[in-house]
């Protein structure tokens, strides 16, 4: 029996309101473009009607498979999907997001040519009623490409859902999700890039609709974020030190640490009611990031933001919380 061309892996947790729409879109594209694929849904201990809906689809559609686990979080759900995937290519989707009508076939066509396809995304902020388009910027897996990935990336670069991965590269190099659900997407993509010799093909259209809803893992305060961030930085540094054909200089790694520290500070400002200007200055000083020499690797808006959060922390907090 021939392997399917595509495995779509979907972690699911309390997404009963959205998962039907996601699955219906996949089914429609499989049928329209005659895509030979499979859909692997991993329910992560949902307490709503998600499991019942999944079971309904499994009973109706032969290529939809389901696995059920206790609430072990998204990283382990995706790893379960990888373990059980039979496709030549792998696409990771979130159950509460949506796809443009031709997303799957456009990515698949480039995968058939041996490329690593990445498309644009549309970020939809449901509570604010606004959206923004973000296009990928990483163009290669060489030294310059990895440097850009760590220092000038955007969410379209580091996210999972807009990329079609080669399954053999993932499995041959044992690339899995880790880091306790903090930046696990970024770490996974980094591991893939350093193990891939594919050409990157950018599709400069927003084909994936990423919904930003209140209460998600990206819009709720996590007390462990400081510890998890340090762990993520350490893992990236350890990986870089082991690379034989890549030389990322100290300025690159310092700029990477600034980007992560800025993310942590923004998370605290928005979701931590006890965050203060003194704590903000301290986290920058403790990270030894007040050396402005490395700012030339930051994009303009990040350079301005970093200077603002360090030199004028009280004013920066007020501005960012608006």
Host H or E run for residue 64: strand 64-69
Q: What are the tens digits of pLDDT across the range 175-225? A: 999 866 678 999 999 999 999 999 999 999 999 999 998 755 555 677 788
Provide CB contacts within 8 A for 31, sequence distance 6+.
none
Q: Give the Cα separation of 106 and 17 in Å (integer).
A: 28
313-320 helix and 250-271 helix, angle to the nearest 10 degrees? 60
Q: What are the tens digits of pLDDT across the range 272-318? A: 989 999 999 888 888 777 665 456 667 778 888 888 998 899 999 99
Mean model confidence pLDDT for the chain: 91
3-class state of residue 302 by DSSP? helix
pLDDT average, residue stretch 79-103: 97
Q: Are 172 and 165 in contact (CB under 8 A)?
A: no
pLDDT in the model for residue 215: 56
Q: What are the tens digits of pLDDT across the range 215-261? A: 555 556 777 888 888 899 999 999 999 988 788 888 888 889 988 99
pLDDT in the model for residue 172: 98
pLDDT in the model for residue 279: 92
**Residue 89, beta-bridge partner list:** 6, 166
What the block records as the tokens of 253 is: 């790694």
Q: Which residue ranges form the domains of the chain, and what is each CATH number? A: 6-212 (3.90.550.10), 249-320 (no CATH)
β-strands 6-12, 89-92 pairing: parallel
Whole-prediction pTM value?
Answer: 0.92
Q: Give the Cα separation of 93 and 77 in Å (integer).
A: 12
pLDDT over 90, % of the chain: 67
């Amino acid at each position: 029996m021939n392997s399917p061309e595509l495995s779509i892996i979907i972690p699911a947790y309390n997404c009963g309101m959205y998962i039907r729409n996601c699955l219906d879109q996949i089914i429609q594209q499989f049928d329209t473009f005659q895509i030979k694929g499979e859909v692997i849904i991993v329910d992560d201990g949902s307490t709503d009607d998600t499991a019942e809906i999944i079971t309904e689809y499994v009973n109706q559609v032969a290529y939809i498979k389901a696995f059920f686990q206790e609430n072990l979080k998204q990283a382990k759900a995706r790893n379960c999907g990888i373990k059980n995937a039979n496709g030549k290519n792998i696409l990771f989707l979130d159950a509460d997001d949506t796809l443009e009508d031709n997303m799957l076939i456009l990515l698949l066509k480039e995968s058939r040519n041996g490329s690593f396809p990445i498309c644009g995304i549309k970020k939809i902020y449901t509570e604010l009623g606004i959206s923004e388009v973000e296009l990928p910027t990483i163009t290669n897996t060489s030294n310059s490409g990895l440097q850009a990935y760590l220092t000038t990336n955007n969410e379209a670069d580091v996210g999972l859902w807009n990329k079609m991965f080669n399954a053999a590269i993932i499995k041959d190099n044992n690339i899995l999700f880790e880091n306790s659900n903090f930046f696990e997407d970024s770490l996974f993509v980094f591991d893939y890039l350093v193990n891939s010799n594919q050409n990157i093909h950018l599709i400069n259209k927003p084909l994936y609709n990423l919904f930003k809803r209140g209460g998600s893992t990206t819009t709720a305060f996590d007390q462990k974020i400081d510890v998890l961030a340090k762990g993520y930085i350490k893992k990236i540094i350890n990986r870089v030190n082991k690379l034989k054909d890549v030389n990322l200089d100290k300025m690159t790694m310092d700029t990477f640490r600034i980007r992560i520290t800025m993310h942590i500070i923004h998370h605290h400002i928005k979701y931590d009611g006890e965050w203060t200007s003194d704590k903000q200055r301290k986290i920058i000083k403790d990270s030894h990031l007040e050396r402005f020499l490395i700012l030339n690797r930051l994009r303009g808006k990040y350079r301005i933001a970093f200077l603002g959060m360090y030199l004028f922390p009280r004013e920066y907090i007020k501005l960012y919380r608006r």
